[in-house]
Structure 1
């Protein structure tokens, strides 16, 4: 099995890489939506980040990635119940996937051969404690979107069908990518992404040449290329783990909370999810940088990613969402 491209070796796309790192430090931020041109490293970055993260402890035969046997929703019949380490899961949710494949269904083979009514876990079970990646998320069928919304709200997958009643945890970081020219995302799902980033094909010739050079080196001699970037990936992994440990102690004073509220009010964002996401992302950014307290600088840096996808449409304002957020930041946080 080919090892993923090193995260540290990805050229440019700094906002995308930062957003993914912040969700690794604090998964409650709510996932990342990446919109932009094809071939700009979106799926490469997702798999590279998962390979960068430390392994998780799971019960060997548990299909739900449970930490202990007591956490496993269906412990009966597990042959190997020892705790083992496994890579952080990254599960692809393909277009055209069926509902049964997503949430799970009756194991037909067991039912026919042994007369047993047993549940076969779906993609949501496999993605628990990891990443669920949806390429072309804006083309996803509506009924699958509805399923994801239910699970995203509760962190739990509930299946009631064919005489089965199954309930299991399904907490994952949702990563979606797509090209905005191919269709818009439903507002309900759009609101569930914590951060939104825009990626584009690099226009700088030197940057494009460096992308080609690194990709060619990776495909020509993968082992040597991975060795070359191992130290930088290790350094980044340590920063993520240090950020995770420091996160609970990072302070955010009332002035910062007021800044978040005023900024979202200025932009006219609905509800208070924008403020909460902005605060969580700013706190994760402070933890990542090893700073004990959230400052206005952190809020300014992360505001475009946190808020650009939460804006109401304004037919009288021709500026793009990023420009509108930046303008509000300049006004509120001057």
Structure 2
């Protein structure tokens, strides 16, 4: 990565915490990690929790850039991005539209499917359609097992793998605690992988693929953030041609959503034919000690500190990005 003059970055707010279900991950892991990394590089960086302070204070206190280390609603769904647009303070990551679409797994699937990109078959159970009659009909279409999850949530909150008809209602009820829109998705049996992307448009590039091996294939919140019994393989150990195809697909998926700065796509590789399927795009990925973007970046020769600094240097606004500034 090219040299960056930290003096040009000005006073920086690291947005962390927030109001979402992922608050603790942001406030205690991602945010402090990014803050320490930026300070170690000489950046004038300060913590800022939107759940405790009004965003207008960013302008009054002279902040010139924001590193968004928020996760979930209010952090990567386009809302804080819109507020920063109005304040005129450049921020890291995707803009308003891409953030809003990527946060909504159903809208993301619709965009990808319109362009012919592979994603598991799905059915949406919207508000008012969480009845036993509605839910029991879904496995007839998607088969069993299947995955049930909130349409707009992260960190595996509210996600269930449903093995039988008797479990469907319970899974839908759990997901509905996080979002009135519940996504039921075909289960893809195979390898779980993730692949980060850096940059924007034609300059977007994929980093090395990370293969995730969780106990019994259960990559839930506990196995993501708490326990140490999940294995992350980078190099992935996949055939070279397979890894290249995943990287190509992920960059295409990233560009279609209009993402910029950085992102991370999660995929499943079907064991029967080794076909990759896109699950979702994260526009404000985790930056914890367990996180996957730093692991992948390290494999590409980019340190955690370099990664954070590079992302911050690329902070912009939708208006500036559209002008090529």
TM-score for both structures, normalised by structure 2? 0.26
Q: Which has the higher helix share?
A: 1
Q: Which has the higher strand share?
A: 2
TM-score for both structures, normalised by structure 1? 0.26
Greater C-alpha radius of gyration: 1
